């Protein structure tokens, strides 16, 4: 009887639970948690297709990407990572297309392979969230990709400082290695901080240069998947993203204002991932298997030594 009363109360107050979950997500700030809570919300509340989080779809994700552009300045971006600029370019391109190639070999669905390759090559969950609306990835595909990347990031935070000490890497080398080999920006900086403050500074600087590749990624994604539908429209948020970068370049936003814009971007991305979770159906996860995880791990096992070699050059 009590269970039925609880279920009735939940169905009567879905927006109260929605607000509670969003507060938790924004407070903790974890991408995987955002998706998981979205799924939990879907399972418990069972929202209708007209529910707010389902109705707005990927709009928060797109808005978050636009705000991300306001934190990037063209001159600053160009000057960042001059020592590794050509290596970062080669690394990103090689990693991305290697991921797609491995996906073909392992017979991983092309959208999942694309998401995992983008996450491994550029910036983890941010890249996955950015390309998801363009390639029309399903919620469960985004969930799978985010989960795998999150687990690899968690492993990196533990083992990378140990490996760095074992290999007797300098602070500069470890920062560069973290920036290239680890997926998400937060995990990159967190791992580097465990090694030294200097490593964190190097990692943050070079990771920005790597993150900038999200621009050609979005353009490539739009072109690569244009055959999925007839008369597909170029995603307007990409144009606004580029405009945002130009705005930051010409207006030279202050550091304090840039921090505010970055926080807005991160919160919108988290909100967007939560909305994706609420659109999921647990029954849709039945088609997933271990192949995507094998793809991600195999790709990472190539990336780790490759990025280490680059830091020694």
Q: Which two tokens stand for residue 98?
A: 């290697």
Q: Provide φ and ψ at 7, rounded to 5°.
A: -60, -40
Per-residue pLDDT, 231: 45
Full domain range(s) for residue 226: 2-312
Confirm if 184 and 126 have CB atoms less than 8 A apart: yes
What mean pLDDT value characterizes the chain? 80
The string of pLDDT tens digits covering residues 73-124 is 777 656 656 667 888 889 999 999 999 999 999 999 889 999 999 999 988 8
Which one, of 285, 311, 273, 282, lies nearest residue 127 by Cα?
273
170 pLDDT higher than 90: yes
Which residue carries 């088609």 as its tokens?
Answer: 287
52 pLDDT higher than 60: yes
Distance CA 89, CA 210 (A): 8
Share of the chain above pLDDT 70, in %: 84
Residue 12 neighbours by CB distance under 10 Å: 8
Question: Taken in order 105, 32, 156, 255, is the CA torsion positive or negative?
Answer: positive
What is the total count of domains within the chain?
1
Q: Between residues 220 and 6, which one has the greater pLDDT?
A: 220
Distance CA 37, CA 266 (A): 17
**Confidence band for 232, pLDDT divided at 50, 70 and 90:** very low
**Confidence band for 313, pLDDT divided at 50, 70 and 90:** confident
**In sequence order, which residues have a C-beta less than 8 Å from that of residue 299 and are 6 or more positions away?**
95, 98, 99, 102, 116, 117, 120
The string of pLDDT tens digits covering residues 190-212 is 788 888 878 887 887 788 778 87
Distance CA 116, CA 142 (A): 9
Widest Cα–Cα separation across the chain? 68
Per-residue pLDDT, 307: 93
Confirm if 124 and 132 have CB atoms less than 8 A apart: no
Per-residue pLDDT, 280: 66
Q: Which two tokens stand for residue 24?
A: 């938790």
């Amino acid at each position: 009887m009590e269970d039925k009363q609880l279920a009735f109360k939940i169905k009567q107050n879905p927006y109260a639970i929605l607000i509670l979950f969003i507060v938790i997500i924004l407070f903790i700030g974890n991408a995987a948690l955002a998706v998981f809570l979205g799924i939990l919300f879907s399972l418990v509340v069972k929202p209708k297709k007209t529910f707010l989080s389902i109705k707005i779809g990927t709009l928060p994700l797109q808005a978050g990407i636009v705000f991300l552009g306001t934190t990037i300045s063209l001159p600053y971006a160009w000057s960042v990572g001059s020592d590794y600029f050509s290596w970062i370019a080669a690394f990103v391109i090689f990693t991305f297309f290697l991921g797609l190639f491995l996906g073909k070999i392992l017979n991983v669905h092309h959208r999942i392979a694309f998401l995992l390759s983008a996450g491994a090559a550029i910036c983890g969950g941010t890249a996955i969230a950015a390309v998801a609306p363009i390639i029309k990835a399903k919620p469960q595909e985004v969930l799978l990709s985010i989960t795998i990347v999150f687990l690899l990031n968690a492993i990196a935070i533990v083992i990378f400082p140990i490996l760095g000490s074992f290999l007797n890497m300098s602070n500069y080398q470890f920062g560069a290695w973290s920036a290239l080999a680890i997926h998400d920006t937060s995990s990159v900086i967190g791992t580097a901080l465990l090694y030294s403050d200097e490593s964190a500074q190097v990692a943050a600087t070079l990771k920005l240069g790597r993150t900038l590749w999200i621009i050609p990624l979005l353009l490539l994604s739009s072109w690569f998947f244009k055959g999925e539908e007839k008369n597909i429209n170029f995603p307007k948020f990409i144009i606004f993203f580029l405009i945002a970068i130009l705005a930051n370049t010409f207006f030279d936003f202050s550091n304090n204002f840039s921090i505010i814009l970055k926080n807005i971007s991160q919160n919108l991305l988290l909100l967007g991932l939560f909305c994706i979770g609420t659109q999921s159906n647990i029954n849709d996860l039945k088609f997933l298997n271990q192949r995507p995880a094998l793809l991600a791990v195999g790709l990472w096992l190539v990336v780790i030594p490759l990025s280490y070699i680059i830091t020694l050059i």
